[in-house]
Amino acid sequence: MGKSILLITIGLSMIIGFIILKLNANSKEGLSVTVHQFEITQARLIANSGIETYLEKMRRNKTLSGDYLDRPLFGGSYDIHISGPDSNLIIRSVGNFDGVTHESIVNAKRTPLQLPPVYGSLFVSSTNLSLNFNGNMLIDGNDTKTDGSAGTGAPLPGIGVDSPNDSSFIINNLKSKITKDILGLGGAPSVRTVNDVVDWNEVTQNLIFGADLTLPAGTYTAPMEFGTTASPKITYITGDVTLSGKCDGDGIMIINGNVNMAGQFTYRGIIIVYGQSTIDTKIAGNGGIYGSTILVGSSVNIQATGNSSFYYSSQAIENAKNNLKSSRFSIISWWE
């Protein structure tokens, strides 16, 4: 009887020992699986974060492409490969973590830049308008190329406004020598009311999001350049500005404040001057704007002297449309 009990006890001990050993083995195997799963997840996170990081870089650097290797992140690293035109961008990211890799590939396209509508050589949207035109300035809504020759586009008003009262106010307050120099649709003085339904705050904010140059308030003169014909730029000036001398530019310029154009400042494209309250616009010197100038504010005050010229130019606007890039992307596919 005693031997039977001993044998049973030894047998049970062996079975229990085997079970304990098996549980320990399963525990280690489970831990190994858990660690490996964490490594896979971390490599995936690094790869996807790399794509998001470089999409943000591409938002600011609109010509960014090529290979960017061994970028450290989250205790691992990633390699980025960017190729293709803006209409078919391929961004490939390989995340690495503790010997485990994960590849993600995104097909994206840069969305077209939305330009504001153009209502004339000069457009004013305001509930309180005041003006004083002197000198020999020219405001011409007939299509004009940037070299001063005639364009082939349909004419627009020399001055467009969003209220019949503003149109009457401008015509009634123009001096006779200025009246004949406001040209465009309908003949001189070409001042017309247009149907403006634009949310100008939304328009300006979308353009500011894609700005290539962001500059503080101040005075800018030669050799300052706000883009070229071959490489126009979206320029955002955050406050009151004086543009003087022979500085010039191409593209779209957004000014959040008052503006003083002096000297021989020349611009080819669209200038938007906007604000929540009063916009004071002073125009002097012998400069020229080819494209369209837009003034938006609850109160707009225009003081013009000198020999400045404002031309509607479909050529300048089309150049901006074709060459400026937005900072927004559409994701066509995301594979991993």
CB neighbours of residue 128 within 10 Å: 12
Q: Give the whole-angstrom CA distance, residue 181 versus residue 306.
A: 13
CB neighbours of residue 206 within 10 Å: 16
Residue 38: what pLDDT?
Answer: 86
Q: What confidence tens digit (pLDDT) does each residue in 176-222 have?
A: 667 788 899 999 899 999 988 889 989 999 999 999 999 999 999 88
Q: Give the whole-angstrom CA distance, residue 233 versus residue 87.
A: 20
Residue 32: what pLDDT?
Answer: 65
DSSP state of 150: B
Do 139 and 100 have their domain in common? no
Do 143 and 176 have their domain in common? yes
User: Between vectors from CA 202 to CA 131 and to CA 232, what angle results, nearest 5°?
Assistant: 80
Do 105 and 157 have their domain in common? no
User: One-letter amino acid identity for 178?
Assistant: I
Single pTM value for the model: 0.83
Do 23 and 163 have their domain in common? no
Residue 15: what pLDDT?
Answer: 47
Residue 14: what pLDDT?
Answer: 45
Residue that the structure tokens 């803006």 belong to: 86
Q: Is residue 261 part of a domain?
A: yes
Q: Give the whole-angstrom CA distance, residue 309 versus residue 118.
A: 17
Q: Give the whole-angstrom CA distance, residue 130 versus residue 124.
A: 11
Q: How many domains does the chain have?
A: 2
Measured between alpha carbons, how far apart are the two ends of the chain, in Å?
68
Residue 146: what pLDDT?
Answer: 93
CA torsion angle 115 121 126 128 (round to 10): 170
Do 137 and 207 have their domain in common? yes
Q: Look over the chain and give the mean of its residue pLDDT values, rounded to a whole number.
A: 85
List Cβ<8 Å contacts ≥24 apart for 25-29. none
Q: Give the whole-angstrom CA distance, residue 2 versus residue 306.
A: 124
Q: What confidence tens digit (pLDDT) does each residue in 56-106 have?
A: 999 989 999 999 999 999 999 999 999 999 999 999 999 999 999 999 999
DSSP state of 154: P
Q: Which of 86, 110, 134 is the last residue of a domain?
A: 110
Do 89 and 214 have their domain in common? no
User: Between vectors from CA 63 to CA 62 and to CA 67, what angle results, nearest 5°?
Assistant: 120
Do 222 and 284 have their domain in common? yes
Six-digit token string for 271: 């200038």
Q: Which of 84, 110, 136 is the last residue of a domain?
A: 110
Q: CB-based contacts of 287: which residues, under 8 Å, 6+ apart?
A: 243, 261, 262, 263, 264, 265, 266, 267, 308, 309
Do 235 and 137 have their domain in common? yes
Determine the longest span between alpha carbons in the chain, in angstroms. 133
Residues in the chain: 336
Helix (H, G, I), strand (E, B) or coil at 11: helix
**Full domain range(s) for residue 97:** 2-110
Residues of the chain predicted below pLDDT 70: 1-33, 175-177, 276-285
